[in-house]
């Protein structure tokens, strides 16, 4: 008996037309715990600095354990706070989906003139600044490991399911934290920085615990000095977003702010994504074809909503691999371009069904149909979707073949 594909999708996504799905939908209100000290360390002026974070929990949640997302703000390593790029709102957003979220502060370069042009004239200061971010983020992760071991797990965190979300400097620090795990593969500048500041793990707090359990890194306008860092951690998923062009952090390979080449060449998210893809990692990368930095610069734009929705879907798939794998079984993909798009798409109809009757159907991630059309005797199909930014599923069915692809919409009409 032939299954109706819409019903199939409807089933796969947990009948979400009738109920909300944890990690996909905003199911909860949130509770905020402010200024929780997770450690301390000396800043660049040798002043002992407390390290603080805000923790958000889904309110009235009965789950025994919840995955955690750490948010790391930007600021060129000389400034920034837990509200930059409205990253606090992003932390709230994901706590409402059922995650525990931790929005951390970290040590930045201390100077009378807050300017990377002044502070990082000496490259050694730049690499030490990155190292401090990694030390502090690791201490924050260890805080929850320690709390689970000694304090009864106050926030009910599943420490085997850890995600990192970084913006700009926070993305750079996050990428280095997640993927650089061996002093042998460091550049000479990083080797010196880490040696001077207490080694790869640092001294920012909660010693005796590890950072194992990281499942994915979400990088918004990030970069690394060596993409080979990924080779030892191919089990960690990667999701990247980057503006093209970006004149602050290179989209592909280049210098910071275009001319800061004395700091060395860095590889932006486009190159990180290429390396992740070549290693067969679980990965996605999305170019935002618009000049700017960082890519998640504002909290209420179509691009930002696209980042939030795409991140939600990506993390959901990691947490629910058995559900998502059903969709991928025995299905072929179809060529769609441009993808992502503002809503205008062209589909190349596969040769084996060009002369046959077929039906194209597009649904949102809850299984609601938003577009359908016949593709009989067509080579290409052009169409426009006037829907909110986000991820949608496209299926093309003929009598004996089913094709399935994901389409991404950005800069579309908001509803």
- Tens digits of residue pLDDT in 205-255: 999 999 999 999 999 999 999 999 999 999 999 999 999 999 999 999 999
pLDDT at 37: 98
Angle at 316 between CA 311 and CA 320, to 5 degrees: 160
Q: Is the pLDDT of residue 124 over 70?
A: yes
pLDDT at 47: 95
pLDDT category of residue 324 using cuts at 50, 70 and 90: low
Beta bridge partners of 52: 37
How far is the C-alpha of 75 from the C-alpha of 132, rounded, in Å? 14
pLDDT category of residue 116 using cuts at 50, 70 and 90: low
pLDDT at 305: 86
pLDDT at 115: 57
CA dihedral 76, 80, 85, 86 (to 10 degrees): 160
Phi, psi of 369 (to 5 degrees): -70, 130
Q: Is the pLDDT of residue 400 over 50?
A: yes
Domain segments of the chain: what residues? 24-319, 331-409
pLDDT at 365: 67
Q: Is the pLDDT of residue 404 over 50?
A: yes
Q: What is the CA radius of gyration of the chain?
A: 22
The residue ranking higher by pLDDT, 403 or 310, is: 310
**Percent of the chain residues past pLDDT 90, beyond the cut:** 60
Average pLDDT of the chain to the nearest whole number = 87
The residue ranking higher by pLDDT, 386 or 160, is: 160
CA-closest candidate to residue 387, choices 358, 360, 407? 407
How far is the C-alpha of 236 from the C-alpha of 282, rounded, in Å? 7
**Percent of the chain residues past pLDDT 70, beyond the cut:** 88
Phi, psi of 279 (to 5 degrees): -85, 0
pLDDT at 314: 94
- Diameter of the chain measured on Cα atoms: 73
pLDDT at 380: 82
Query: What is the value of pTM for the model shown?
Result: 0.79
CA-closest candidate to residue 170, choices 91, 245, 244? 91
pLDDT category of residue 319 using cuts at 50, 70 and 90: very high
List Cβ neighbours of 303 (8 Å cut-off, separation of 6 or more).
Answer: 288, 290, 295, 296, 389, 410, 411
Whether the CB-CB separation of 170 and 223 falls below 8 Å is answered with no
Count the Cβ atoms, other than its own, within 10 Å of residue 259: 10
Q: Is the pLDDT of residue 18 over 70?
A: no
How far is the C-alpha of 309 from the C-alpha of 211, rounded, in Å? 27
Q: Is the pLDDT of residue 281 over 90?
A: yes
CATH number listed for the domain at residues 24-319 = 3.40.50.1820
Q: Is the pLDDT of residue 329 over 50?
A: no
Please give the average per-residue pLDDT across 344-363, as a whole number: 82
pLDDT category of residue 111 using cuts at 50, 70 and 90: confident
Please state which of the four CATH numbers 2.60.40.3080, 3.40.640.10, 3.30.390.30, 3.40.710.10 is assigned to the domain occupying 331-409. Answer: 2.60.40.3080
Q: Is the pLDDT of residue 112 over 70?
A: no
How far is the C-alpha of 151 from the C-alpha of 140, rounded, in Å? 15
Token pair 């077929």 is found at 358
How far is the C-alpha of 350 from the C-alpha of 336, rounded, in Å? 11
Please give the average per-residue pLDDT across 89-103, as a whole number: 97
Q: Is the pLDDT of residue 10 over 50?
A: no
List Cβ neighbours of 369 (8 Å cut-off, separation of 6 or more).
Answer: 6, 361, 362, 363
pLDDT at 164: 98
pLDDT at 223: 98
List Cβ neighbours of 277 (8 Å cut-off, separation of 6 or more).
Answer: 283, 285
Q: Is the pLDDT of residue 161 over 60?
A: yes
pLDDT category of residue 326 using cuts at 50, 70 and 90: very low
At 259-273, the pLDDT tens digits run 788 899 999 999 999
pLDDT at 337: 79
Please give the average per-residue pLDDT across 37-46, as a whole number: 96
- Which region among 88-97, 175-184, 207-216, 293-302 has the lowest average model confidence (pLDDT)? 293-302
Whether the CB-CB separation of 175 and 217 falls below 8 Å is answered with yes
Q: How many CA atoms lie within 13 A of 338 on its CB side?
A: 11
The residue ranking higher by pLDDT, 407 or 30, is: 30
The residue ranking higher by pLDDT, 37 or 80, is: 37
The residue ranking higher by pLDDT, 57 or 386, is: 57
Please give the average per-residue pLDDT across 95-109, as a whole number: 97
pLDDT category of residue 59 using cuts at 50, 70 and 90: very high
């Amino acid at each position: 008996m032939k299954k109706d594909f819409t019903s199939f999708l409807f089933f796969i996504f947990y009948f979400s037309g009738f109920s909300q799905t944890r990690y996909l939908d905003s199911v909860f209100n949130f509770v905020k715990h402010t200024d929780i000290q997770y450690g301390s360390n000396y800043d660049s002026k040798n002043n002992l600095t407390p390290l603080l974070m805000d923790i958000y929990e889904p309110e009235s949640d009965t789950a025994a354990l919840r995955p955690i997302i750490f948010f790391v703000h930007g600021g060129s390593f000389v400034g920034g706070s837990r509200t930059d790029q409205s990253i606090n709102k992003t932390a709230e957003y994901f706590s409402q989906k059922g995650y525990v979220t931790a929005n951390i502060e970290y040590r930045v370069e201390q100077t009378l003139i807050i300017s990377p042009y002044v502070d990082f004239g000496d490259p050694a200061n730049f690499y030490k600044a990155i190292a401090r971010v990694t030390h502090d983020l690791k201490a924050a992760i260890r805080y929850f490991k320690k709390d689970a071991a000694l304090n009864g797990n106050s926030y009910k965190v599943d420490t085997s399911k850890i995600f990192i979300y970084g913006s700009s400097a926070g993305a750079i620090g996050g990428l280095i934290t997640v993927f650089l795990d061996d002093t042998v593969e460091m550049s000479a500048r990083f080797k010196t920085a880490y040696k001077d500041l207490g080694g790869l793990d640092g001294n920012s707090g909660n010693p005796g615990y590890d950072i194992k359990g990281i499942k994915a890194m979400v990088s918004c306008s990030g970069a690394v000095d060596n993409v080979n860092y990924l080779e030892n951690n191919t089990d960690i998923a990667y999701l990247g977003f980057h503006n093209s062009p970006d004149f602050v952090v290179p989209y592909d390979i280049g210098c910071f702010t275009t001319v800061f080449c004395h700091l060395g060449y860095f590889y932006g998210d486009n190159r990180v994504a290429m390396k992740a893809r070549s290693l067969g990692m679980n990965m996605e990368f999305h170019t935002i074809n618009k000049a700017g930095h960082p890519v998640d610069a504002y909290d209420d734009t179509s691009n930002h909503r696209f980042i939030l929705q795409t991140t939600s879907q990506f993390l959901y798939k990691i947490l629910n691999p058995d559900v998502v794998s059903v969709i991928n079984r025995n299905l072929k993909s179809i060529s769609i371009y441009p993808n992502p798009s503002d809503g205008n798409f062209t589909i190349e109809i596969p040769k084996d069904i060009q002369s046959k009757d077929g039906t194209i159907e597009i649904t949102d991630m809850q299984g609601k149909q938003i577009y359908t059309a016949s593709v009989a005797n067509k080579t290409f199909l052009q169409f426009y979707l006037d829907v909110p930014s986000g991820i949608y599923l496209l299926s093309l069915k003929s009598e004996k073949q089913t094709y399935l692809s994901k389409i991404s919409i950005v800069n579309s009409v908001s509803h």
